[in-house]
Amino acid sequence: MRIIPYLAALPLLAACATPANSPDLLAQKLSADILASNSATLTLEKWCADHAMAAAPKVVARLVRGNSKAASAETLARLGVPVTDIKYRRVQLYCGSHLFSEADNWYVPSRLTPEMNRLLDETDTPFGKVVQPLAPYRRTFSSTMLLSPTALFEHAAVLYSSSHLPIAEVRETYQRGTLAFL
């Protein structure tokens, strides 16, 4: 007799269960993967390849020119430089035709090689790929799940070189395009 109330609750419990491939859970997984990684770009490329989202799974940065954002006092403090030593770059990261993220990047050109600065100025190469020879690592100071109609989550992090010098601060907004395979 005690089993009947439990059986009556099963349809309600089933309705509350979230499938393993739900957009919310996949967004949380991708966010966790990026938080655990030293390179958001490499994590996005792996995501793109794992979900066969492009013929050649490669993440490309499309520069957004003309919109410059000044570095905040907090950004300058985290990077340990005056405002005159900062450069700004805004990009949209794509895998094939899918928009994965929009990123604001304040970086310290004097802590990069001349070739790295040239690539950042003249090409669509993602920042994470350009600075790969510095063996960078990330320290995230803000992570927010958004789960809005367009944006899934935001991360803000400082990137450090292997010699522990801060080289950049990034603010990344990850888009629903990362779930286009659903």
Domain locations along the chain:
21-179
For position 19, what pLDDT does the model report? 60
The Cα–Cα gap between 162 and 155 comes to 21
Contacts of 97 (CB under 8 A, 6+ apart): 54
pTM assigned to the model: 0.84
The Cα–Cα gap between 24 and 45 comes to 20
For position 128, what pLDDT does the model report? 93
One-letter amino acid at 42 equals: L
**Tens of pLDDT, residues 10-56:** 344 344 445 667 888 999 999 999 999 999 999 999 998 888 766 77
CB 131 within 8 A of CB 42: no
Concatenated DSSP letters of 63-117: E--S---PPPHHHHHHHTS-GGG-EEEEEEEEETTEEEEEEEEEE-GGGS-HHHH
Name the phi and psi angles at 42, rounded to 5. Answer: -65, -35
- Place 181 in a pLDDT band, splitting at 50, 70 and 90: confident
Over 60: is that where the pLDDT of 8 sits?
A: no
Over 70: is that where the pLDDT of 78 sits?
A: yes
- CATH code of the domain made up of 21-179: 3.40.1410.10
CB 79 within 8 A of CB 69: no
The Cα–Cα gap between 176 and 98 comes to 9
The Cα–Cα gap between 25 and 5 comes to 30
The Cα–Cα gap between 89 and 39 comes to 17
